[in-house]
């Protein structure tokens, strides 16, 4: 009753429900327009006074949204507007294109993140979160045509602290800057090979002191290796133009990393040593299944075949006479576990007969490392079913060649391989003495006398 009298007293008449609702709707529209104007003014003020370096790292974060009072449903769009507006204002003041300014600012931020992470090769904790936020922001800039990958690549090679391989891979994986484009923007081929090898060795070494699990490391290494293989072992059926310079770089890196692994195996006798564990991490790149859908099978076979050749011919020092007293140490049971695992991984894409043919080709055309050749033969016999008869046929071929061509080297090679095979026991291959005395091993190879 009292409320009715008060309303009648103000207007002199009763206020209808439609009038009351109309007034409420008008106030709501006013509130929304005021909120939009307030947000626009806040964006203008912040774009003039915000530190670009900090803005670039914070604009995609929830902290920045709270500062801007941006609601969740429009936060990302407003953040992009703020950043582009700030870049445009500062670029105009400096007389620079927006693309150059954004590239320089992003490079400075990466350098700061790298400095904050100290000596760590793999970013973790707060530096990793900052990098993630920065990458999201760069995606926003790219969507607004305010970010140039090529200019960004040029700026990164000017950094005082070198870019870590972990950072480079995140940029590549997020589609912001491919590893190919990054390398193409540095003309120093030798320096690039050094940088890639150093980064890969550090990645392998850090696994012992980090919380990075083996599966994550394997994915990271095979991801990088898949990029190397697409350029280093290109096939005509693959689309796209390949760079000869990148092919040279990637092949050099793969070769040097294999040499690093083989040197570690040769120097370290303790299976649990840190350097050997680090080298073992590189074996992830020889996991065939990890490349499915990433690398053509033919390119993968070429890589494995070339790697096997490099292993068999790496650093040849011993003569046949030097190898004989050491053969027992090169049996499968005594072969370094890392080296044996390397052989087994390299065997995967091939059939046993292909492996024996490859071994024959290498022995006939190159100077070999007898330690690697004979330990490879032992591993082949133990781990590949059906390899024993193929090795026997190969030995017969060597003896025939030796007697027909008076080739002493072929005969010595046959005796050495037969002796190595016999060390694996009768369940794998006949003993050396038994093979040597077996009838018709080489009698049929001897030239028959002509008619009297």
Residue 378 maps to a domain:
yes
Give the structural domain span for 121.
37-178
Task: Work out how many domains the chain is built from and give that number.
Answer: 3
Q: Which residues contact 158 (CB under 8 A, 6 or more apart)?
A: 107
pLDDT at 268: 79
Residue 20 maps to a domain:
no
The segments of the chain whose pLDDT lies below 50 read 1-13, 17, 20-21, 42-43, 45-50, 60-75, 440-443, 445-452
148 lies in the same domain as 123: yes
- Which structure tokens are listed for 221? 């290494």
Residue 13 maps to a domain:
no
The count of other CB atoms within 10 Å of the CB of residue 201 is 21
pLDDT at 212: 56
310 lies in the same domain as 322: no
311 lies in the same domain as 363: no
Burial category of 409 from C-beta neighbours within 10 Å (exposed 0-12, middle 13-18, buried 19 and up): middle
Q: Are 278 and 203 in contact (CB under 8 A)?
A: no
pLDDT at 2: 41
Region of 384 please: left (phi>0), alpha (psi -120 to 50) or beta. beta
pLDDT at 188: 95
91 lies in the same domain as 74: yes
The count of other CB atoms within 10 Å of the CB of residue 194 is 14
The closest alpha carbon to 413, from 362, 379, 447, 340, belongs to: 362
pLDDT at 54: 61
Residue 226 maps to a domain:
yes
The count of other CB atoms within 10 Å of the CB of residue 20 is 11
Cα within 13 Å of Cα(61), Cβ side: 15
pLDDT at 451: 44
pLDDT at 9: 46
148 lies in the same domain as 82: yes
Phi, psi of 317, deg, nearest 5: -130, -40
Q: Are 91 and 98 in contact (CB under 8 A)?
A: yes
Q: Are 283 and 345 in contact (CB under 8 A)?
A: yes
pLDDT at 420: 97
245 lies in the same domain as 307: yes
Q: Are 222 and 291 in contact (CB under 8 A)?
A: yes
Cα–Cα–Cα angle for 87, 88, 90, rounded to 5 degrees: 65
Say how far apart CA 59 and CA 57 lie, in whole Å. Answer: 6
């Amino acid at each position: 009753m009292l409320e009715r009298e008060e309303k009648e007293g103000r207007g002199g008449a009763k206020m209808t429900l439609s009038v009351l609702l109309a007034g409420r709707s008008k106030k709501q529209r006013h509130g929304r327009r005021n909120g939009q104007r307030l947000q626009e003014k806040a964006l203008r003020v912040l774009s003039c006074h915000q530190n670009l370096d900090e803005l670039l790292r914070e604009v995609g974060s929830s902290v920045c949204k709270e500062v801007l009072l941006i609601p969740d449903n429009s936060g990302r769009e407003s953040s992009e507007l703020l950043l582009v507006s700030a870049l445009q204002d500062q670029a105009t003041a400096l007389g620079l294109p927006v693309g150059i300014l954004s590239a320089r600012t992003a490079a400075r931020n990466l350098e700061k993140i790298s400095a904050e992470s100290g000596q760590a090769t793999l970013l973790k904790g707060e530096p990793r979160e900052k990098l993630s936020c920065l990458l999201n922001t760069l995606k926003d800039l790219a969507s607004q045509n305010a970010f140039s990958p090529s200019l960004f690549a040029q700026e990164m090679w000017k950094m005082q602290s070198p870019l870590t391989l972990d950072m480079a891979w995140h940029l590549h994986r997020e589609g912001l800057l491919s590893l190919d484009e990054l390398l193409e923007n540095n003309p120093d081929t030798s320096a690039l090979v050094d940088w890639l090898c150093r980064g890969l060795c550090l990645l392998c070494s850090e696994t012992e002191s980090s919380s990075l699990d083996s599966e994550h490391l394997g994915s990271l290494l095979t991801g990088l290796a898949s990029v190397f293989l697409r350029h280093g072992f290109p096939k005509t059926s693959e689309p796209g133009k390949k760079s000869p310079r990148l092919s040279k770089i990637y092949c050099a890196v793969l070769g040097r990393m294999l040499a690093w692994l083989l040197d570690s195996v040769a120097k370290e006798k303790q299976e649990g040593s840190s350097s050997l564990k680090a080298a073992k991490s590189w074996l992830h790149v020889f996991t065939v299944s990890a490349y499915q859908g990433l690398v053509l099978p033919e390119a993968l076979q070429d890589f494995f075949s070339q790697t096997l050749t490099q292993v068999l011919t790496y650093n040849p020092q011993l003569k046949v006479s030097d190898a004989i007293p050491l053969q027992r140490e090169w049996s499968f049971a005594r072969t370094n576990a890392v080296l044996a695992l390397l052989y087994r991984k390299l065997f995967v894409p091939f059939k046993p007969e292909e492996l024996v043919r490859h071994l024959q080709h290498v022995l006939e055309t190159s100077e070999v490392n007898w330690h690697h050749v004979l330990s490879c033969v032992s591993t082949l016999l133990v781990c590949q079913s059906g390899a024993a008869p193929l090795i026997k046929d190969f030995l017969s071929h060597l003896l025939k060649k030796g007697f027909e061509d008076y080739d002493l080297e072929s005969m010595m090679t046959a005796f050495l391989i037969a002796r190595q095979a016999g060390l694996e026991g009768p369940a794998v291959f006949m003993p050396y003495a038994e093979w040597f005395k077996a009838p018709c091993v080489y009698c049929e190879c001897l030239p028959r006398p002509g008619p009297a």
